[in-house]
């Protein structure tokens, strides 16, 4: 079981599938999410640290770099552990890239597809802890998060995570809809939704996104296509480069 917790280099990883044709690279999705950070924060009138939000967004899918996720995205195998839970576990275990994130930001990563801490997530986290030689240290850290007592009966760190969850879900859904819509247009598919709100896109309800995107707003041009990787430059509503890798060349 231990090797599923290792992380692969980001440049060798995929983030999601697009139809039966392409994988989107991990870096492509992360960079597109980062491109949406500023518009989303402006829309939400967010006034706290932008740098901390950017770091959260940059690391939100780090669990997808686990070999189990990469295997599942290529073969449709069921995963033992979700990528959000893997990121949280790496944070518990002081993984270098994640360890400096403050608790509300890692809680937002844990919750960006599901509830804050549900029973299934708790079971997976506790199973991981129980198999570690340093289980006492990790268990103490875990219990300190979920069984804290607060003097004023308000858990400020959990409350602080709630707006961060909204931010992360919003940039994630905007990036996912954008890359999927570009894929559909690039492949000249007929089933293109006119907007994000019309699509009700992803496993996150459309009402959670503070910004709508219309398909006709997306301005992009193909930069290269070498029969393996397609690079597309997005010019509007944000600037980024979207990368698709053909399934048969992955």
Q: What is the pLDDT of residues 47-67, one digit of tens each?
A: 888 999 999 999 999 999 999
Angle, nearest 10°, between helix axes 135-146 and 119-130? 160
Nearest CA to 102 out of 164, 39, 152, 147 is that of: 164
Q: Which residues on adjacent β-strands are paired with residue 246?
A: 22
Residue-wise pLDDT tens digits, 115-171: 888 888 899 899 989 988 999 999 999 998 888 776 667 788 888 999 999 999 999
Q: How far apart are CA 92 and CA 133, in angstroms?
A: 14
pTM confidence score = 0.92
Cα of 232 vs its chain's centroid, Å: 21
Phi, psi dihedrals of residue 233, rounded to the nearest 5°: -90, 115
Domains: count for the chain: 1
Sign (positive/negative) of CA torsion 177, 29, 65, 140? negative
For 101-115, 137-151, 174-188, which range has the lowest pLDDT when averaged over its residues? 137-151
- Domain assignment of residue 104, given as a range: 2-249
Please report the pLDDT score of residue 2 as a whole number.
54
Local structure of 47: helix, strand or coil: coil
């Amino acid at each position: 079981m231990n090797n599923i917790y290792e992380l692969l280099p980001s440049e060798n990883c995929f983030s999601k599938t697009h139809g039966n044709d392409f994988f989107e690279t991990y870096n492509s999705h992360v960079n597109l999410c980062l491109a949406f950070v500023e518009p989303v924060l402006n829309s939400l009138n967010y006034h706290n640290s932008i740098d901390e939000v950017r770091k959260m967004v940059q690391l939100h899918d780090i669990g997808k770099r686990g070999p189990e996720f990469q295997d599942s995205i290529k073969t449709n195998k069921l995963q033992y552990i979700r990528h959000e839970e893997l990121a949280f576990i790496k944070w518990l275990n002081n993984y270098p890239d994640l360890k400096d994130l403050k608790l509300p930001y890692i809680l937002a990563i844990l919750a960006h597809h599901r509830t804050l801490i549900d029973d299934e997530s708790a079971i997976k986290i506790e199973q991981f802890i129980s198999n570690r030689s340093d289980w006492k240290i990790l268990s103490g850290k875990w219990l300190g998060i979920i069984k804290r007592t607060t003097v004023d009966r308000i858990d400020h760190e959990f409350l602080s995570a709630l707006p961060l969850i909204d931010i992360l879900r919003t940039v994630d859904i905007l990036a996912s809809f954008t890359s999927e819509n570009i894929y559909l247009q690039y492949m000249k598919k007929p089933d293109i939704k006119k907007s994000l709100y019309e699509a009700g896109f992803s496993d996150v309800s459309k009402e959670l996104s503070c910004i709508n995107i219309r398909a006709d707003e997306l301005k992009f041009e193909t930069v290269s296509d070498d029969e393996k990787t397609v690079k597309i430059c997005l010019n509007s509503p944000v600037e980024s480069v979207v990368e698709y890798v053909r399934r048969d060349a992955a």
